[in-house]
Amino acid sequence: MKQAHPTPSDVFNNEDSNTSANPHIDNVIATRLSRRSMILGSAGAAATLLGGTALTSYAATSGSSMGTASMTAPISSLGFTAVGKSLADQVVVASGYKIQVLYALGDPLTANTPAFKNDGTDALFEQRSGDHHDGMEWFGLDADGKPSATSTTRALLAINHEATTDEKLSSFFIHANGGASTLPRPAGEVDKELAIHGLSVVEIEAKGGQWQYNAASGLNRRVTAMTDVMLTGPAKGSAHLVTKFSPDATRARGTLNNCGTGKTPWGTFVSGEENWNGYFFRDAKDDERRGKKDKQVAALVRYGRKAGDPSRHGWESAGADDKFVRWNNGALAANAQSDYRNEMNTFGYVVEMDAYDSRMAVRKRTGLGRFAHESVSFAKPVVGQPVVAYMGDDARGEYMYKFVSAAVWDAADATPANRLGAGDKYLDQGTLFAARFKEDGSGEWLELSMANPYVAAYPDFEFTSNADIAIFTRLAADAANATRMDRPEWGGINPRTGELYMTLTNNSNRTVDGDLGLDAANPRYYTDMKGSKESKGNVHGHIIRLGEAKPTDRAFKWDIFLFSSEADADKSRINLSNLSDDNDLSAPDGLVFSPATGLCWIQTDDGAYTDKTNCMLLAAVPGKVGDGEAKTLSYKRSDGSEKRVTTFIGKSQSPDVLKRFLVGPKDCEITGLCETPDGKAMFINIQHPGEGTKMTDIGNPAKYTSQWPANAGYGAGKRPRSATIVITKIDGGVIGS
Ligand code: FEO
Ligand code: CA
Ligand code: CA
């Protein structure tokens, strides 16, 4: 989701609802460290005193237990020439590579669905590709169409359709005249908008070196904002999930704003619901009607849904049909069984889908917590140990999380007969943790459960069960005193080391001191100019990484892998990773490690550097936590006194180890990345090209800010479309080699 361009999407990305003070009480936290983590942490703590460089010993001595994976085609130096920054309305890829558009908004997913006319008159979106392609995972198929871990020529792609390009309520590119920009919204327009959200599964195949998607495949699937789904895990049956649709709180409808993805060790697709709060409406009297005793008033505000705020699309206004009324989450009837006051509580989860079997209902895994979910990164499972997954909450000042399953890994579950049954086993019982980053380069995972007295006795919100923690996770992390981060986006596990990398895309709310003051893990505050527009805070974002002796540990070491920056920015304060024109970037968002090569692929969703370049994809050869040095930054507080912040920076980024590989068309973000198992074909998504187009220009294609992919020869019409592309090396080699 693009942030800097002021569209309605931005207004409704309410990533700004964490007003918790979370005072610096590291001394209190230290006394709460378990004996085990104190012992484990002591070696790291000693190393930290010597500066960040000493941290390497931590990883080096424990590498065998860190869940490293084997790679089929490891790459240790980047074999392509960097692509320059680009403002062209085309995909520009490194020399020696080619791209092909594969699957775009509106493309048919059944044999009988008419071709997409792309003029706003198309219907049947439940049978077409959704909009705003985002996270994506590869599910190989053999020649018989059965699951295959080794196939490189046939597969299913499971894709998130996060949102839609909109202005003044309307998803204007899918309506003939741009649609209605005032309330009430026409029912026919809302039906289309409900259907372009959700997930899709699409079969693809390579024939004679050309990839194509198969519109007639029986394995294709759509999940929309209206599809029946199951609620599972600790919050299933909770009074806070009771709706008129599901009075026993076991079912819900749809998935929304699906951003990052993941692939489970048992072979299913997981997808994070991100900015779902903006789709709901409750009138200005709703707090009063609910009364002070309803603790959900506090929760609704903490989750960015203030009484009286307008909804993103006005879906609640489209008529008396239940499919529209459900978007009004006010307490309007006598009880929760009779209205949709709890409907918003049925969003904000990780959803799990069996990409191979469209008969199986999608499951919302409440055990992984409720927040603005991005990706889910699974540590390599170890037989006899719990399954561990890492997640971020993409909002300003929100937290990083990890989930540790109650069940321990059984190798037979790598190919289970019932894939979602394995999901039930590993994701429905377990413990959530939120990350606390300390100033010495260490950190602690704080338990979010009723066993944590800070949560159980939190004065600002009454938790009565682990179901409450699963639904109101942000408040539990507030109570536990987690560290407020610069918008955690995607995570990835380095297959060489088992370390977690997570993008912190930017944070316009970060200040030197005060409410969201600088800390060691979020240490930059600066001014960036885009033409005459001045932005302050952490404008360009950074990528943090964590190393643990074992994924189940509560103690970790951390450093900053990469500080994003413009190349010509001050190297002592802003361009701390020594970026050059070959690898400078802003707003890292997608982050995926190639299982084949071990390269770290970084994707941007930027609005700050877009005067110089469209969004991009870069490749990095990662190092490990502690391969750089400590660095102290000096700032002036509001009272004029000096504030010094010491952080830990990974080794500086020469173009040998970080290079720009691809730049997208105008107004897009680059997102979603998966590969064939041999690393020879890479699939990425181009999301919302032309997003900056004015709705009033819908009849004038010359004024669209992008006409991609039509201008690349794909499809009818000139309206821009989100799409999946495939990248291959012209000589047939491994991507990045
Ligand atoms: Fe959908 Fe946080 O990007
Ligand atoms: Ca700038
Ligand atoms: Ca994202």
CB of 99 closer than 6 A to ligand 1? no
Helix, strand, or coil (residue 679): coil
CB of 548 closer than 6 A to ligand 1? no
Q: Supply the DSSP symbol for 106.
A: T
Pair of tokens at residue 410: 């059984």
Q: What is the mean pLDDT of residues 19-26?
A: 54
Residue 479 CA to residue 399 CA, distance in Å, equals 12
The phi and psi torsions of 53 (rounded to 5 degrees) equal -65, -25
Q: Measuring CA to CA, which residue among 24, 3, 5, 23 is closest to residue 14?
A: 3
Nearest CA to ligand 1 atom 3: 1
CA of 34 to the centre of ligand 1 (A): 34
CA of 529 to the centre of ligand 2 (A): 4
CA angle 460, 365, 424 (to 5 degrees): 135
**Contact call for residues 402 and 393 (beta carbons, < 8 A):** no
721, pLDDT greater than 60: yes
Which residue has better confidence, 33 or 260? 260
* AA identity, residue 157: L
pLDDT at residue 21, rounded to an integer: 67
Residue 547 CA to residue 565 CA, distance in Å, equals 24
pLDDT band at 509 (very low <50, low <70, confident <90, very high): very high
CB hemisphere CA count around 316 (13 angstroms): 20
pLDDT at residue 72, rounded to an integer: 92
pLDDT at residue 294, rounded to an integer: 87
CA of 350 to the centre of ligand 1 (A): 14
Give residue limits of the domains in the chain: 8-60+100-401+422-690+704-729
Q: Measuring CA to CA, which residue among 278, 282, 302 is closest to residue 290?
A: 282
CB of 162 closer than 6 A to ligand 1? yes
The burial class, CB within 10 Å (0-12 / 13-18 / 19+), for 407 is middle
Residue 192 CA to residue 121 CA, distance in Å, equals 11
Give the C-alpha distances (Å, rounded to integers) separating 415 from 29, 201, 387, 596: 41, 20, 15, 20
CA of 179 to the centre of ligand 3 (A): 27
H helical segments located in 293-366: 296-302, 322-325
Give the environment of ion ligand 2: residues with CB less than 5 A.
528, 530
Pick the atom of ligand 1 nearest to 163's CA: 1
CB of 122 closer than 6 A to ligand 1? no
> What does the pLDDT look like over 198-244, one tens digit per residue?
999 999 999 988 999 999 999 999 999 999 999 999 999 999 999 99
CB of 362 closer than 6 A to ligand 1? no
Q: Measuring CA to CA, which residue among 46, 77, 121, 135 is closest to residue 603?
A: 135
Residue 426 CA to residue 649 CA, distance in Å, equals 35
Helix, strand, or coil (residue 377): strand
CB of 316 closer than 6 A to ligand 1? no
Q: Which ligand is nearest to the CA of 533?
A: 2
Residue 392 CA to residue 287 CA, distance in Å, equals 29
The CA-to-CA distance between both ends of the chain, in Å, stands at 31
Residue 679 CA to residue 597 CA, distance in Å, equals 7
CA angle 414, 252, 164 (to 5 degrees): 90
The average confidence (pLDDT) of the chain is: 92
CB 382: neighbour CB atoms within 10 A? 18
Pick the atom of ligand 1 nearest to 489's CA: 2
CB 464: neighbour CB atoms within 10 A? 10
pLDDT at residue 209, rounded to an integer: 85
CA of 89 to the centre of ligand 1 (A): 22
Pick the atom of ligand 1 nearest to 13's CA: 2
pLDDT at residue 201, rounded to an integer: 99
Pick the atom of ligand 1 nearest to 374's CA: 2
CA of 143 to the centre of ligand 3 (A): 34
CA of 53 to the centre of ligand 1 (A): 33
CA angle 51, 56, 62 (to 5 degrees): 135
Residue 600 CA to residue 41 CA, distance in Å, equals 27
34, pLDDT greater than 80: no
**Contact call for residues 304 and 378 (beta carbons, < 8 A):** no
Residue 732 CA to residue 682 CA, distance in Å, equals 12
What is the Rg, in whole angstroms, of the alpha carbon atoms belonging to the chain?
24
Pick the atom of ligand 1 nearest to 162's CA: 1
Residue 182 CA to residue 419 CA, distance in Å, equals 45
Residue 134 CA to residue 147 CA, distance in Å, equals 23
Q: Using omega within 30 degrees of 0 as the cis cutoff, is the peptide bond preceding 184 cis?
A: yes
- Residues with Cβ within 8 Å of 135's Cβ and at least 6 positions away in sequence, in order, are 159, 160, 258, 259, 260, 261, 262, 271, 272, 375, 490, 590, 671, 672
**Contact call for residues 130 and 222 (beta carbons, < 8 A):** yes
CB 572: neighbour CB atoms within 10 A? 10
Q: What is the mean pLDDT of residues 708-713?
A: 98
Residue 731 CA to residue 98 CA, distance in Å, equals 10
- Residues with Cβ within 8 Å of 217's Cβ and at least 6 positions away in sequence, in order, are 202, 203
Residue 606 CA to residue 569 CA, distance in Å, equals 17
3-state secondary structure 439-502: CCCEEEEEEECCCCHHHHCCCCCCCCCHHHHHHCHHHHHHHHCCCCCECEEEEEECCCCCCEEE
**Contact call for residues 137 and 243 (beta carbons, < 8 A):** no
pLDDT at residue 43, rounded to an integer: 33
Give the C-alpha distances (Å, rounded to integers) separating 99 from 91, 213, 432, 662, 729: 8, 15, 41, 10, 9
Annotate 310-348 with b (16+ C-beta within 10 A) or e (fewer). ebbbbbbbbeeeebbbbbbbbbbeeebeebbbbbbbbbb
CA angle 637, 638, 642 (to 5 degrees): 20
> What does the pLDDT look like over 328-358, one tens digit per residue?
999 999 999 999 999 999 999 999 999 999 9
CA of 339 to the centre of ligand 2 (A): 48
Q: Which ligand is nearest to the CA of 395?
A: 1
Helix, strand, or coil (residue 568): coil
**Contact call for residues 578 and 591 (beta carbons, < 8 A):** no
Give the C-alpha distances (Å, rounded to integers) separating 111 from 91, 490, 549, 623: 29, 35, 51, 48
Residue 475 CA to residue 320 CA, distance in Å, equals 34
Q: Measuring CA to CA, which residue among 411, 419, 422 is closest to residue 382?
A: 411
314, pLDDT greater than 50: yes
CB of 587 closer than 6 A to ligand 1? no
- Residues with Cβ within 8 Å of 435's Cβ and at least 6 positions away in sequence, in order, are 399, 400, 401, 402, 443, 444, 445, 446, 482, 483, 485, 546, 556
Give the full edge-to-edge strand order of the sheet including 616-620.
Answer: 92-93, 658-663, 616-620, 600-604, 588-593
Residue 314 CA to residue 325 CA, distance in Å, equals 11
pLDDT at residue 16, rounded to an integer: 72
> What does the pLDDT look like over 83-121, one tens digit per residue?
999 999 999 999 999 999 999 999 999 999 999 999 999
pLDDT band at 40 (very low <50, low <70, confident <90, very high): very low
Pair of tokens at residue 66: 């860190």
> What does the pLDDT look like over 637-694, one tens digit per residue?
999 999 999 999 999 899 899 999 999 999 999 999 999 999 999 999 999 999 999 9
> What does the pLDDT look like over 257-294, one tens digit per residue?
999 999 999 999 999 999 999 999 999 999 999 997 88
406, pLDDT greater than 60: yes
CB of 394 closer than 6 A to ligand 1? yes
pLDDT at residue 59, rounded to an integer: 30
CB of 582 closer than 6 A to ligand 1? no
pLDDT band at 70 (very low <50, low <70, confident <90, very high): confident
Pair of tokens at residue 203: 């079969």
Residue 51 CA to residue 587 CA, distance in Å, equals 28
Residue 541 CA to residue 162 CA, distance in Å, equals 22
Give the environment of ion ligand 3: residues with CB less than 5 A.
259, 589
The phi and psi torsions of 488 (rounded to 5 degrees) equal -65, 120
Residue 327 CA to residue 195 CA, distance in Å, equals 15
CB of 1 closer than 6 A to ligand 1? yes
Output the pTM of the full model: 0.93
Q: Using omega within 30 degrees of 0 as the cis cutoff, is the peptide bond preceding 709 cis?
A: yes
CA angle 255, 111, 150 (to 5 degrees): 70
